[in-house]
Structure 1
Amino acid sequence: MALFIFQFGLLQPIALIVNSQLPVAVFTVGLVILMLLKNNFRIKLYVIAYFIFFSLFYLLNGLILSKNLWLTVTLFIGFILKGFSGFLAGSLNTTSKELYNAFLRIGVLNFFVIGTYPFVPFFDSMEYMRFGYAMIPSVIMFWFEVMGEKKYNPIWWGMTIYSTVITVIYGSRGTILVLLLVILLSVLFSKKLAIGKKLFISVFFGIIIYLVIKNDLVIKIIDYLFFDLGIKSYALEKLRMMVIDGIAESSSGRDVLYSSILFYIKQNPVIGYGIGYSESVLGLYPHNIFLQIMLESGFIALTCWLCIWIYCSYKYRILSMEQETGIFKITTLVISVALGRLLVSSDFWLRPEYWFILSILVNYQRNRNLE
């Protein structure tokens, strides 16, 4: 399960050598086969049920609404290999402790594989977005570890601070959103914190954010890194543009894309235009999960998804009340990575971490680990 989430970062050196992301796809297929062999090709009933439901929905949606049948079929294959393989991975039996330890070990390995990204010329062809989203799971695991340790460990703290800094400076802005989501979920759903403490922390961070904005500390820090230290990364350049010129100017064309998607949604808000419509007409992924659902399947599908998300939120609430250390932290990590990415980029049908966490929450049962 840990390998499934970290495989993208672990395989980047090989992908750069062959100049293709094919190794990631091949490794994913290999993991799926290994999972099936390990379980003697026994697949849980809920996995089969969800696969049939979403497959029928996907294909019927494409046949009825889509104008490009070939694109629908191609995307459906991608959904099975990239997306739903994550759902299968999330159904594996494990325990809370085993899950956490596996994520931590693989997180360390991932850190050593791509942690030299800013300083090694070999990684120059690795896109900043790929680096950021590949490194962020390790960053989160390191923070979980140092915050949970009773004794100060300089090695863990060194890796934590270093990985956080290079991810913020050299990764995409979406990784900052992921970190904010981790903090928000950890505070709001912490059983150890009383309501009064949660309120105090919220107010405290609100004041800090207000002071930072009021005194222009963000742009001062960025300018110091960008001009004084000479760290002219693309991520810092975009952050600086966002602070000075606004979100729209630094959105890399997302404002235009979102405006186009909203235009189409207004024309047909009930049933949408079919899966893959954005790729077919606009040539880009929708870059926002809510807009994508409305564009492809309309308000009806969005309502269905809201019901699924409410059910998963209920499961997450139960999980947080039990405070199963491993499961709670790992689900918080994957929820943050999935949501943080799908709010500003990608296609949710193809995001394995989205389907991975969906499977874990659907499969989770009270007073049991992850069985």
Structure 2
Amino acid sequence: MVNVNKTTFLIGLFLCFPIIREAFTWVPQLSGIATIIALLIIYIPFELLFLTNPKIVKLDALILIALVAMIFIITILIFPEYKSVYFDENNSIFQKVFTFRSGVFAYLFFRMEENPKRILSMLKKVSIILFFYHSLRIKDVLDDGLWEITLFDGSIAHMRYNMSFGYDMIFWVIILFYFFLTEKKILFGLLSLAGLIQVFLWGSRGALVSFLLFVIFYLTFGDRKLFTVKKALLITLLSMIFLSLLNNNILIKLQSFINSLGINSRTLDSIISGEITNDNGREFIQNTVLAFINNSPLVGYGAYSDRYWVGHYSHNIFLELLMTFGIPLGGMLIILFLIMVTFMLIKCKNIHWNSLFIIFLSISMGRLFFSSSFWQESSFWIMLAIFVSYIKSIKRRVNYD
């Protein structure tokens, strides 16, 4: 594995934003400006590197950011009533979309590096740091038994699970598990297992879907050397044994043991009660979105329209695209997305770009079909950056194998 260089160091800094900000929140005099300080720590080196080498900032990244901004500007000119959601105190577009620390800005940073080996090398180092950071987040729930969650409307709730924690942790679990598969190091296997257990106990079901998607995609379309007939049969056999063991008697005993430790698992409780497929209101939200799409199929309602008309994001990337852009343009974007995924899974000849794409495809799709919004989901924009970088490498006839 190649060494991390200046650009991948900056990408690592970008990914470590939560840790940097958290460090300054512990300083009473600086806690109020912790976000600003963290952004300065990321963007001052970024500016210095840009001044010495302007080519690190790709034109397509700047065009993309400008295009996203233009979409929001055009939308608010047509629908001025959207100001209430654009500038909402708890979920404004400057807190979710134009944050300089997530979303489309992740595309900007990941496009800076054109060598997939360097990106993977950086992710290996950062994944261990971020794994332990997110593991420390469970301290409060271990002490109090409940998470303190800030809801979409800004209100505070105390819950047994934390959706944000689950998705944040599975991001790094998948990366750690990738390195376990490729490097066969027991440390990566143990850390990914520990993280997976934490997600099962305190995270959301959608996060577990991301992990399952990664295993399926990587064993099927990733490193072909890992996927042999024997391994396929072994995985099938183990899966059948595992499923046969998952009867309520065993699960109830497991639940009692976990509860005796003072731990509650919402996912385990859902399996036992038969409510694992409960959609928690998603069906109502999505049916409402569908009604709006049918009411204006040609042009849609613009960016963030689901927040205004439905009161929440769509919980499905395809529905959000259709409500935002209408069926003709939104449908075209969905088709292009599916073509991109098919191409990268089947036709990508570089194992490193292929692996990176599978990692971020799994992370983003596990979330965007159950929760979140593509406008703010960093893994979605990173996936797009990886696709563009691979296409550019083909045109330059550069092979990093």
TM-score range with shorter-chain normalisation?
A: 0.7 to 0.9
Greater helix share, 1 or 2? Answer: 1
Q: Which residue of 1 aligns with 2:255?
A: 226
- Shift of the 271–225 alpha-carbon distance from structure 1 to 2, 3 Å rule, reads farther
Q: CA separation in 2, counterparts of 1:216 and 1:360? A: 40
Q: Deviations over 1:25-44 (max 9, x none)?
A: 76356534533432225532
Q: Which residue of 2 aligns with 1:299?
A: 327
Q: Which residue of 2 aligns with 1:240?
A: 269
SS of equivalent residue, structure 1 residue 226: helix
- Look up the equivalent residue of 1:38 and give its one-letter code: L
SS of equivalent residue, structure 1 residue 93: coil
TM-score by length of structure 1 reads 0.80
Q: Deviations over 1:96-145 (max 9, x none)?
A: 33221211111111222232444565796565222222222321222222
Residue 339 of structure 2 is aligned to residue 339 of structure 1: no
Q: CA separation in 2, counterparts of 1:323 and 1:54? A: 31
The structural deviation recorded for 1:345 is 0.8
What does 1:159-198 align with in structure 2 at a 5 Å threshold?
159-193=191-225, 197=228
- Look up the equivalent residue of 2:120 and give its one-letter code: Y
Q: Deviations over 1:258-306 (max 9, x none)?
A: 2222222222232222222222233222222112122222212322322
**What residue ranges of structure 1 are gaps of 5+ in the alignment?**
none
Q: CA separation in 2, counterparts of 1:240 and 1:224? A: 12
RMSD over aligned Cα atoms? 3.6
SS of equivalent residue, structure 1 residue 115: helix
* Identity between Structure 1 and Structure 2 (%): 19
Q: Which residue of 2 aligns with 1:7?
A: 17
The structural deviation recorded for 1:83 is 2.0
TM-score by length of structure 2 reads 0.75
Q: CA separation in 2, counterparts of 1:265 and 1:25? A: 39
- Shift of the 70–254 alpha-carbon distance from structure 1 to 2, 3 Å rule, reads closer
Correspondent of 1:108 among 106, 109, 128: 128
The structural deviation recorded for 1:17 is 8.9
- Look up the equivalent residue of 2:133 and give its one-letter code: V
What does 1:103-142 align with in structure 2 at a 5 Å threshold?
103-119=123-139, 125=147, 127=149, 128-142=162-176
- Shift of the 36–355 alpha-carbon distance from structure 1 to 2, 3 Å rule, reads farther
Residue 62 of structure 2 is aligned to residue 45 of structure 1: no
The structural deviation recorded for 1:208 is 5.6
Q: CA separation in 1, counterparts of 2:267 and 2:33? A: 29
Q: Which residue of 2 aligns with 1:80?
A: 98
Q: CA separation in 1, counterparts of 2:43 and 2:337? A: 25
Q: Which residue of 2 aligns with 1:359?
A: 385
Question: Conserved in 1, the CA contact under 8 Å of 2:127 and 2:175?
Answer: yes
Q: CA separation in 2, counterparts of 1:32 and 1:297? A: 32
Q: CA separation in 2, counterparts of 1:39 and 1:131? A: 34
Question: Conserved in 1, the CA contact under 8 Å of 2:210 and 2:366?
Answer: yes
Q: Deviations over 1:44-67 (max 9, x none)?
A: 221233233333333223322563
Q: Which protein, 1 or 2, shows the higher relative CO under an 8 Å CA cutoff with sep ≥ 6? A: 1
Q: CA separation in 2, counterparts of 1:315 and 1:29? A: 38
**What residue ranges of structure 2 are gaps of 5+ in the alignment?**
1-10, 150-161
- Look up the equivalent residue of 1:109 and give its one-letter code: I
Residue 293 of structure 2 is aligned to residue 290 of structure 1: no
